[in-house]
Amino acid sequence: MEEIEIKHKKSMPKFLKRILKIFGLFLLIFVASGVSYFVYDSVLYSSYQNISGGAMQGDCNVLGINIRGDLYTYLVRDEDGYVTEDYLDATSSEEIIDSLENAKNDTNVKAVMFDVDSYGGAPVAGEEIAIAIKSTEKPTVAFIRQAGVSAAYWAISSADWILASKSSDVGSIGVTMSYLEKAKQNEDSGLKYIELSSGKYKDAGDPDRILSKEEKEVLLRDVLLTHENFIRAVSENRNIPLEKVASFADGSSVLGEQAKSLGLIDAVGGYEEARNYLSEKIGEEVEVCWW
């Protein structure tokens, strides 16, 4: 009996072995995925800390900055400093400004390159980045990949040299404050909007109530004023007559060749052309450290 008991302990039913193998494989994949995400996120954040907090390391002589996703003035981070899920595909003007400020005093940084792929975002974010780029004394170049439109184009309009591919979306000089009204849907659901506000226009634009004619005029006034600011900025940054910018600032985007003919970009090209441009400007081979 003793020998049989020992054999039973060493041998395991086949179905149980299969279950343990499947569970082990699942556990291994889960742990590996978690470790990979942690390492990836840690590397990104570490890179952000190193570049924005001091001199670049190694042979880098050009600071590379990505302008991707939605543009905001700031990104929400958790207590550990990592970007929250809602802002993973986004760029903030405050972090770009911080990096450009550090680059000013970093003797290793000879120029700045912007990799742009964004359909825009907050007008103030675009304006803040454009002002920061304009105040940068070192050469700046921006190349647009799939899109550099709306606030994203505003942001890079002050770069020394701008490129885009033949198929890139460029421009879209316009402003929108459109939204989906839910008042009728709420009414059909038996919900009633109770208005308690201190001012006539305090809750104007709330999607749960119908927008009055007066409120629409006030909101549209701000949209048009922001549009005028956008047109003026592009005119100044790109040295294009104000009237010419206004003539095509209808909110539509254009492709690379047409963007060049309008003066929105300087050349059709991409990363390699941007590298060559900066190499000529700084008089040495370009090595980019990406933020």
DSSP string for 204-263: TT-TTSPPPHHHHHHHHHHHHHHHHHHHHHHHHHHT--HHHHHHH-SS-EE-HHHHHHHT
Strands 253-254 and 169-171 come out as antiparallel
Report the alpha-carbon distance of residue 161 to residue 265 in Å, rounded: 7
Q: Pick from 218, 233, 250: which residue ends a domain?
A: 250
Same domain flag for 183 and 239: yes
Same domain flag for 67 and 159: yes
**Structural domain total, the chain:** 2
Q: What is the pTM of this model?
A: 0.79
CATH number at residue 102: 3.90.226.10
Q: For residue range 224-251, list pLDDT tens digits in order.
A: 999 999 999 999 999 999 999 999 999 9
Which run of H or E residues covers position 157?
A: none
Contacts of 269 (CB under 8 A, 6+ apart): 143, 163, 164, 165
Position 221 confidence tier, pLDDT thresholds 50, 70, 90: very high
Residue indicated by tokens 């048009």: 224
Average pLDDT, the chain: 83
Same domain flag for 132 and 88: yes
Helices (H) and strands (E) in the chain, counts: 10, 10
Which run of H or E residues covers position 71?
A: strand 70-72
Q: For residue range 169-210, list pLDDT tens digits in order.
A: 999 999 999 999 998 999 899 999 998 888 888 889 899 989
- Residue 87's pLDDT is 77
Same domain flag for 153 and 179: no
Whether residue 77 lies inside any domain: the answer is: yes
Same domain flag for 275 and 212: no
Same domain flag for 70 and 140: yes
Q: For residue range 47-75, list pLDDT tens digits in order.
A: 333 444 445 555 789 999 999 999 999 98
Same domain flag for 117 and 145: yes
Domain assignment of residue 139, given as a range: 54-172+252-291
